[in-house]
């Protein structure tokens, strides 16, 4: 992209939070009111989209029926073009723009094009889903470290899974539904206890949310049996036993087993 200054256009990379419109920041809500155009992805909740005033132009770059997402370069070009035309462009992204949101790439594109750009954080799915489940991601007794990991990487080989779970750690897996079973196998092969609790939160913070709980060894079965649908988040770690969730272990009385777990994770 060539380098010439925009008129007074500006790009705002805005986090829309995990779904519930009440979890939008005040700044994000204000920007939706004052924007000339909102470019949003498919993860942004309907309740949030409903806050965009009718006079504001709206473009979806969500997955189309053909299942093709608008290529990231095309999105970057669109954002730069609209800002260069002097518009206040709000790029609205699910959760936080900088957590698996490719916000960094859009920021780079804006900077390279000399477009003023500001980032507005949003509540990322991990925080929203944990809150919904009443599950503290850290806890003085259970976990003093948290990792956010993308589960969709090719063959899972791009990720070093060692040390991410167990031993006072919480592992939060984004985009991990399709690979849930393989991830569980991988973690167990790395020495993580198959009896480590897991929680799966589907459509966190929305009225349709489901929170399911199981053990690591049963994660793949749980996802398949319960037909867990996207978006869903997988939380692996001792803290998952604290989730206010449906236990899906197929074993009567397993809740008490989970509460009594004393093996070293």
What's the min distance (Å) between Cβ of 17 and ligand SAH?
8
99 vs 258, beta carbon nearer ligand SAH: 99
What's the min distance (Å) between Cβ of 32 and ligand SAH?
17
| Cβ neighbours, 10 Å, residue 255 | 15
Structure tokens at 164: 């991410």
- Residue 244 among the catalytic residues: no
201's enclosing H/E stretch is: strand 197-202
Q: Which residue is nearest to ligand SAH (CB)?
A: 95
208 vs 260, beta carbon nearer ligand SAH: 208
19 vs 237, beta carbon nearer ligand SAH: 19
203 vs 242, beta carbon nearer ligand SAH: 203
What's the min distance (Å) between Cβ of 54 and ligand SAH?
26
Looking at 20, 41, 142, 247, which residue is catalytic? 41
What's the min distance (Å) between Cβ of 136 and ligand SAH?
17
Place of tokens 């700044």: 27
Helix, strand, coil shares, percent, the chain, to 5:
30, 25, 45
| DSSP per residue, 199-265 | EEEESTTSTT-EEEEEEGGGHHHHHHHTT--SSEEEEESGGGGG---EE-SSSTTHHHHHHH--S--
Contact positions toward ligand SAH, by CB under 6 A? 18-19, 43, 93-96, 99-101, 124-125, 129, 174-175, 201, 203-205, 230-233
18 vs 197, beta carbon nearer ligand SAH: 18
What's the min distance (Å) between Cβ of 230 and ligand SAH?
5
Strand order in the sheet with 116-120: 57-60, 37-40, 88-93, 10-15, 116-120
Structure tokens at 154: 């090719």
Contact 120, 88 (CB under 8 A): no
- Nearest-Å Rg of the Cα atoms of the chain is 20
Query: Hey, which residues are catalytic here?
Result: 41, 63
């Amino acid at each position: 992209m060539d380098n010439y200054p925009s008129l007074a256009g500006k790009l705002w990379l805005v986090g829309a939070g995990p779904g519930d419109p009440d979890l939008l920041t005040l700044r994000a809500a204000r920007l939706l009111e004052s924007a000339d155009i909102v470019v949003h992805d498919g993860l942004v909740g309907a309740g949030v989209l409903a806050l965009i005033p009718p006079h504001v132009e709206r473009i979806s770059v969500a997955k189309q029926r053909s299942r093709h997402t608008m290529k990231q370069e095309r999105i970057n070009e669109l954002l730069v073009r609209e800002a260069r035309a002097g518009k206040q462009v709000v790029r609205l992204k699910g959760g936080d723009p900088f957590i698996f949101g490719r916000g960094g790439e859009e920021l780079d594109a804006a900077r390279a094009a000399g477009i003023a750009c500001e980032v507005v954080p949003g509540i990322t799915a991990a925080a929203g889903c944990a809150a919904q489940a009443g599950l503290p991601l850290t806890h003085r007794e259970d976990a003093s470290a948290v990792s956010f990991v993308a589960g969709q990487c090719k063959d899972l080989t791009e990720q070093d899974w060692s040390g991410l779970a167990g031993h006072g750690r919480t592992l939060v897996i984004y985009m991990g539904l399709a690979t849930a079973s393989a991830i569980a196998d991988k973690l167990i092969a790395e020495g993580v206890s198959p009896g480590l609790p897991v929680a799966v939160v589907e459509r966190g913070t929305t009225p349709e949310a489901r929170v399911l709980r199981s053990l690591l060894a049963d994660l793949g079965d749980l996802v398949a049996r319960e037909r867990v649908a996207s978006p869903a988040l997988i939380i692996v770690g001792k803290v998952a036993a604290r989730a206010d969730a449906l236990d899906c272990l197929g074993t009567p009385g397993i809740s008490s087993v989970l509460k009594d777990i004393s093996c070293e994770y």
